[in-house]
Amino acid sequence: MIEQLDTENDDRDIKTAYIVCLTHTPSTVEAMHCQGVLFLGDGVKDLDGTGGAFKTRVTIGSQESVEKTHTLTAANTQAWIKTDKFLVKANTAITIEVLSPNVLDADVDVTGYLYDMDPLGVTPNLDILTTIATTMRGVLIQTWRRFFKKSTLTASQLKTYEDDNTTVISTQTVLDDDTTETQEAAT
């Protein structure tokens, strides 16, 4: 199972230099295992059909990854290419770029997708989720922590704790008007 994190689409001049097709910070609280996919051409603004050695490049924070070459055969006016899988640490932006070897690829529709390749994978430090989860993995961890780790409920607050049983991860306001008990969103 994979989870789509982002998509971006635009008409791009991919022939003269690497062109950024997608920029995203996958998670501010979790490390993730990601992969990018680029769709080149849409039936109207297509590749020129020459083929050749197209390249992708992924930059993670300020760390540039190794380029990957994708050989497209002649007559391909629409194609998709994917990056290698890569790890992204928490709160780190990534960019995915593409470069065409063909001088006529000056106005190509490019749609980029970013995927979490292991949304149910294990997060090494379960205490890092101190904000509302943004991934399926985070949702599962927070649900597990709420029901199977230490939490306290007073007349006005529900608190969930780290494994040390003293550091509060999240707090939820609790209201009771003698008819309805309400548990507010976590902060």
Per-residue confidence at 102, pLDDT binned at 50, 70, 90?
Answer: very high
Write down which residue in 116, 137, 162 finishes a domain. 116
Looking at the structure, do residues 109 and 156 belong to the same domain, yes or no?
Answer: no
Per-residue confidence at 128, pLDDT binned at 50, 70, 90?
Answer: low
Q: What is the pLDDT of residue 127?
A: 47
* pTM tops 0.75: no
CATH number, domain with residue 10: 2.60.120
Residue 119 has pLDDT above 60, yes or no: yes
Residue 121 lies in a domain: no
Mean pLDDT is highest, among 20-24, 124-128, 162-166, for 20-24
Residue 130 has pLDDT above 80, yes or no: no
Looking at the structure, do residues 94 and 147 belong to the same domain, yes or no?
Answer: no
Looking at the structure, do residues 40 and 101 belong to the same domain, yes or no?
Answer: yes
Q: Which of 16-25, 48-57, 58-67 has the lowest mean pLDDT?
A: 58-67
Question: Looking at residues 55-80, what average pLDDT do you find?
Answer: 90
Q: Which of 15-29, 71-85, 100-114, 117-131 has the lowest mean pLDDT?
A: 117-131
Looking at the structure, do residues 25 and 112 belong to the same domain, yes or no?
Answer: yes
Rounded Cα distance between 89 and 177, Å, is 44
Is residue 185 packed enough to be buried (19+ CB in 10 Å), middle (13-18) or exposed (0-12)? exposed
Looking at the structure, do residues 73 and 134 belong to the same domain, yes or no?
Answer: no
Q: What is the pLDDT of residue 154?
A: 87
Looking at the structure, do residues 107 and 168 belong to the same domain, yes or no?
Answer: no
Give me the phi and psi of 185, to 5 degrees please: -65, 150
Per-residue confidence at 121, pLDDT binned at 50, 70, 90?
Answer: low
How high is the mean pLDDT of the chain? 87
**Helix (H) and strand (E) counts for the chain?**
1, 14
Looking at the structure, do residues 12 and 96 belong to the same domain, yes or no?
Answer: yes
Residue 177 lies in a domain: yes
Which residue range(s) make up the domain with 177? 126-183
Lookup: tokens for 77: 């006016």
Lookup: tokens for 177: 């008007």
Rounded Cα distance between 20 and 4, Å, is 19
